[in-house]
Amino acid sequence: MVKNGTMSRRPSKRSNTGSSEVASSSHRGGRRVPSPAPVKEEEVRIDPNADVVLECKYGIRVVPAHARHWFQTFVPTVNSEPKVAIDGGKLARKYSEIYNIRALGFDSLFRSGDAVNMNLVKECYANWQPEASLDAVYEERVRGKMIPFSSQVINRIFGFTEHSHKLFQRFLHRPDYLAIHRQLCGAASSTAWMRDVNEFHKEMKKGTFQHPNRVVLRLINAKIMPTQSDSDVSRLKVCLIYALLTRMRLDLGKIMLEHMAKVRPLGARHLH
């Protein structure tokens, strides 16, 4: 069409690249671009009977086959972030004999605990095969790395001073029952030890202890040998309370390692 000497052209459909033209192309029989197919993630399956440990950074895949059931059934029975701390000034005023435990180099017992990474604890325990010797140095695989683990390492982590353990071991096998009774229960107490079928001195009742000794027991249960129930105090803990109050030199790292080795074979639910 010509008007006033000029020619007007109808706009070309191809020149319009607006979104409205593209969006309406399907209604005019245009070809629709198919949407991309979803990417399927390959599922990694673990053979529970295989002894080959797959390479990964963490989790059950780094645990050998013989320990995977233990790893899966692990249920911590204590809070992973303990809030245990003691007022040093008040402790020194009221219970000087407990405060003097610091002189043995066990100051960290009186400080609040740090947060615990339970996944690392699970891997360490699952890969650990305890031995009878308290002087053994283990090589544990945690997060793909081999780390040393021993009573010396425990002492270093907690900041404990390392002493000879022979004196406490002799005392544990042949304790002074009369001195223990007077120290823990009082000279006028008629409390007796609980014995096993072989008449072996096995444990004592917490309710018979004097109050300062209960404080020490609470400290042991929180920092050295955690437990769910402390109404019956084992022979080891009774002797440990007496040793700490009388400032007997001992190796807390070996005591903790021995306790860990005892509860490890019992299963994950016995780990405190």
Q: What pLDDT score was predicted for residue 95?
A: 78
pLDDT in tens, the chain (272 residues): 545 555 555 555 554 554 444 444 444 555 665 666 655 545 545 455 555 444 555 666 667 776 777 677 766 555 544 455 566 777 777 778 888 888 888 887 877 766 667 777 777 777 777 776 778 888 877 777 788 888 999 999 888 988 999 999 999 999 999 999 999 998 888 888 888 887 788 889 988 999 889 989 988 888 888 776 778 899 999 999 999 999 999 999 999 988 888 777 655 444 44
Domain limits, the chain: 56-78+116-163+251-271
161 neighbors 253 (Cβ within 8 angstroms) = no
User: Distance of CA 124 to CAs 74, 109, 120, 149, Å?
Assistant: 12, 23, 6, 9
**pLDDT at residue 14 in the model:** 52
Phi-psi region of 200 (alpha: psi -120 to 50; beta: other; left: phi over 0): beta
Q: Which of 223, 212, 222 is nearest to 106 (CA)?
A: 223
